[in-house]
Amino acid sequence: MDRKMKAAVFKGNGVLAVEEVDVPVISNGDEVLLEVEACSICGTDVHILEVPPAGFDVEPGLIMGHEIVGKIVDAGESVRTLKKGDRAVVEPNDYCGVCRYCLKGLTNHCENQISIGVNRNGGFTRYVKITEKVAHKISDRLETNIAVFAEPLACVVNGIHKLGVIPGQSAFVIGAGPIALIYVQMLKASGATPIIVSEPSGKRREYAEKCGADFTVNPNDKDPAEFVKSVTGIGVDIVIDVVGSRVEDGIRAVRKGGKVLLFGFNTRAEPKIIQHQIVLKEIQLLGSWIARSTFPEAVQILEKGVLDLEKLITHIMPLSKINEGIALLAKGEGLEIIVTPE
């Protein structure tokens, strides 16, 4: 194994540089070393590189990237569930398992959480070191470009659990980025109908229709809540805000007794909350934060081919072009952008 590797290193002030770094070495018995097959670009990566960073405090010198798939090339002495040669996807938010929230089963709210690609070196490189408990084994048959969806899909599955979707329910998805389109496919697979998507980008509205949306609306041309009511009569059963700033549209679009799931994370948004409408309409307003014990389900969905995620892949590029990929995602000109190591 080489002692040096290329990595995309955060330098601070919106700068990401590809440079040589040392290959990590296992130092604890519960660690595994993963040779990265691919790592896709997430909206979180875009936010980290904003000036100032939008909600993420990342120290200069950190290797970014957290949507990772790879192969185990080394394992600590106490590792029992994985061995050299196994393939795995990475749950990027490592949890302690013993804090007050972990003991309540809320591992996504761990008081000692360490996030790969944010607080710990991530996957925009050749090798990444992680703990055994956040490496989820996958089949050798699962294609790399599909396996890389495990992290965003696990987050979506967490939200779907909260909604308890049943066949025939109507749904309104706000946004048509990669996560939103996974939501659309999951809603379709769950039997939701009609599915309505609000998105200003014409290209992304086309992707939403390919993913199963029955109707799309440009919020710059029409009031999305009024459009939803024109389709459904009384509003939808379910609203999912994947943008992170459209709770008002959600409250207006949902029927009485319906559910509004807030998924998008935007620390700069200050939306107007129509509190009396929540009371009057008896709306269930829910939040969903990352994945929570949902990686095994995500892997199962991927391995059984339930979703058609390949159509979301718009770019595959080498690590040397990572800044180009991040710019494409930031401008809305790409969806799933996969980076391969060099």
User: DSSP secondary structure string, 281-296?
Assistant: TT-EEEE--S-SS-HH
pLDDT of residue 114: 96
How many whole angstroms separate alpha carbon 197 and alpha carbon 180? 9
Confidence band, pLDDT 50/70/90 cuts, at residue 273: confident
pLDDT of residue 51: 86
Share of the chain above pLDDT 70, in %: 100
Amino acid of residue 61: G
Work out the average pLDDT over 24-48. Answer: 96
Work out the average pLDDT over 273-293. Answer: 96
pLDDT of residue 80: 97
At 262, list the tokens. 């807030």
For 92-133, give the DSSP string: -EE--SSSTTGGGT-GGG-TT-EEBTTTB--SSBSEEEEEGG
How many whole angstroms separate alpha carbon 170 and alpha carbon 177? 20
How many whole angstroms separate alpha carbon 25 and alpha carbon 23? 7
Q: Of 2-6, 55-59, 163-167, which gets the smallest average pLDDT?
A: 55-59
pLDDT of residue 2: 76
pLDDT in tens, 147-161: 999 999 999 999 999
pLDDT of residue 148: 98
Examine the pLDDT at 25 and tell me if it is beyond 80: yes
How many whole angstroms separate alpha carbon 278 and alpha carbon 273? 9
Work out the average pLDDT over 282-290. Answer: 98
pLDDT of residue 67: 98
Q: What is the mean pLDDT of the chain?
A: 96
Q: Which of 44, 125, 131, 216 is catalytic?
A: 44
How many whole angstroms separate alpha carbon 211 and alpha carbon 252? 25
Examine the pLDDT at 170 and tell me if it is beyond 90: yes
Q: Go through 139-177 and write b for each residue having 16 or more CB atoms within 10 A of its CB, e for each that does not.
A: eeebebbbbbbbbbbbbbbbbbeebebeeebbbbbbbbb
Q: Name which of 268, 263, 270, 280 is nearest 248 in CA terms.
A: 270
Residue with tokens 């048509």: 176
Q: Name which of 148, 210, 204, 141 is nearest 174 in CA terms.
A: 204
Residue 44 is among the residues annotated as catalytic for this protein: yes
pLDDT of residue 291: 97
At 139, list the tokens. 């089949």
Indicate the SS3 state at residue 258. Answer: strand
Pick the residue with more confidence: 337 or 266?
337
pLDDT in tens, 65-113: 999 999 999 999 999 999 999 999 999 999 999 999 999 999 999 999 9
Instruction: Report the relative pairing of strands 313-318 and 336-340 from DSSP bridges.
Output: parallel
pLDDT in tens, 185-232: 999 999 999 999 999 999 999 999 999 999 999 999 999 999 999 999
Integer angstrom CA distances of residue 307 from 32, 146, 184, 291, 300: 30, 10, 10, 18, 11
pLDDT of residue 54: 72
How many whole angstroms separate alpha carbon 235 and alpha carbon 194? 11
At 179, list the tokens. 């996560």
- Specify the DSSP class assigned to residue 74: E
- Write down all domains in the chain, each with its CATH number in brackets: 4-148+308-340 (3.90.180.10), 154-287 (3.40.50.720)
Work out the average pLDDT over 249-268. Answer: 95
Q: Which of 47, 66, 136, 315 is catalytic?
A: 47
Examine the pLDDT at 53 and tell me if it is beyond 90: no
